[in-house]
Amino acid sequence: MTAATTGTAKAGRTRTGAAGPGRNAGGRTNWVPTVILLIGAVYCVLPVVWIVIASTKTNSELFSTAPFAPSFHGGFFSNLRALFSYDHGIFIRWAVNSVIYAVGGATLSTIVCGCAGYALGKYRFSGSVWLFRLIVAAVLLPQIMLAIPQFLLLAKLGMTNNYAAVILPQLVSPFAIYLCKIYAEASVSDQLLEAARVDGASEWRMFASIGARLMMPALVTVFLLQFIGIWNNFLLPFVMLNRDQLFPLTEGLYGLLIITGGQAAQYTIVIVGVLVSIVPLAAVFLLLQRYWRVDLVSGGVKA
């Protein structure tokens, strides 16, 4: 993992989806890969398409009409109404909570990991090598398995059941620090820093106005990775929270399924809830996908 610097520098040039020049120039369609990819695409999209269609149906239609035939009898709007009025509109609360956890957590995490990565990448001081080794080792430690010990400790201190209990344990990501460190090494040039030093800039100023700016691609990637990680985290809020007012969407929907699990009559609420929780994230995701650099992930750990 230590030889990764060159990997990032090289991979840093290609963007996630950048097609090479003239990649499809001339010639007939190559059917085999095209068809394989389309099968893959259908597999990935099919459940989402189904949920969109299913959410247009009323409960009786759900069980009686063809699976992929949408209904236009107003089922969609009554389902939405049922979802948003369920338990005095707690669904909206869950959505807001999810945003608080994911945006708050990812922002703070990016700052914490970006600072640490810059410090480890651009400075040598006593203990820095040792500290970096510890972080690389911690990459192997599955964070999710710490959720229960984290709960036990926080419960002992009486600090569970609040926003901080869900956000704080997720702020330090060894992988994110590692990513920021190697990116800082590769992209923040020493000559530039030296020139700034000669011009009399303080170390802090150099970090804030040169380092942080040059590290932006890595920071965006870390933000998105952490955002998705926190948005998707189930176990940590599951153990930390027992007030449904604090639940994120995932917890809330799970709770809805438990409550309605016995009675198929309530399925439409869960189905439309699933749809509503996918759409905004998928939209943001599709919009941002050109900005986030999966290549950093692959280049970052290239041995």
Partner 1 sequence: MKAPRRRHTLLPQILLIPAVVLFLLFTVAPGAYAIYLSFMKQKAGGGLFGTDNPTTVFAGLENYRAAFGDAEFWHSIGRMLLVAVIGVPATIGFSTLFALCLDAKRTRLVGFSRLAIFLPYAVPGVVATLLWGFMYLPATSPIGGDTINYFGSHTVFFAVANVAVWGVLGFNMVVIYTSLRGLPRELFQAAELDGASELQIALRIKLPLLAPTLTLVTVFSLIGALQLFNEPTTLKPVTNAISSTWVPLMRVYTDAFVDNDIYRGAAASFLLIVLTVAATVAANTVLRLIARRSER
Question: Strand, coil or helix: what is 148?
Answer: helix
Task: Say how many C-beta atoms besides its own lie within 10 A of residue 279's C-beta.
Answer: 12
207 contacts partner 1 (rule: CB under 8 A): yes
Using the rule CB under 8 A, which residue among 89, 264, 265, 291 binds partner 1?
A: 264
Binding to partner 1, residues 227-246 (CB under 8 A) = 228, 231-232, 234-235, 238-239
62 contacts partner 1 (rule: CB under 8 A): yes
Phi and psi torsions of 71, nearest 5°: -110, 145
Q: Which is nearer to partner 1, 64 or 245 (CB)?
A: 64
Binding to partner 1, residues 3-42 (CB under 8 A) = 5, 10-11, 14, 16-20, 23-24, 27-30, 32-34, 36-38, 40-42
Q: Which is nearer to partner 1, 56 or 295 (CB)?
A: 295
**Distance separating alpha carbons of residues 24 and 212, to the nearest angstrom:** 38
Contact at 8 Å (CB) between 230 and 168?
A: no
Binding to partner 1, residues 66-85 (CB under 8 A) = 67-68
The site map against partner 1 for 130-169 (x = CB under 8 A) is -x------x-xxxxxxx-xxxxxx--x-----------xx
Residue with tokens 């107003």: 74
The site map against partner 1 for 102-121 (x = CB under 8 A) is ---------xxx-xx-xxx-
272 contacts partner 1 (rule: CB under 8 A): no
Contact at 8 Å (CB) between 61 and 265?
A: no
Using the rule CB under 8 A, which residue among 218, 253, 269, 272 binds partner 1?
A: 253
Cα 79 to chain centroid, rounded: 28
Contact at 8 Å (CB) between 240 and 34?
A: no
Q: What tokens were used for 17?
A: 């989806």
Shortest distance (Å) from residue 245 CB to partner 1: 19
Residue with tokens 């009486």: 158
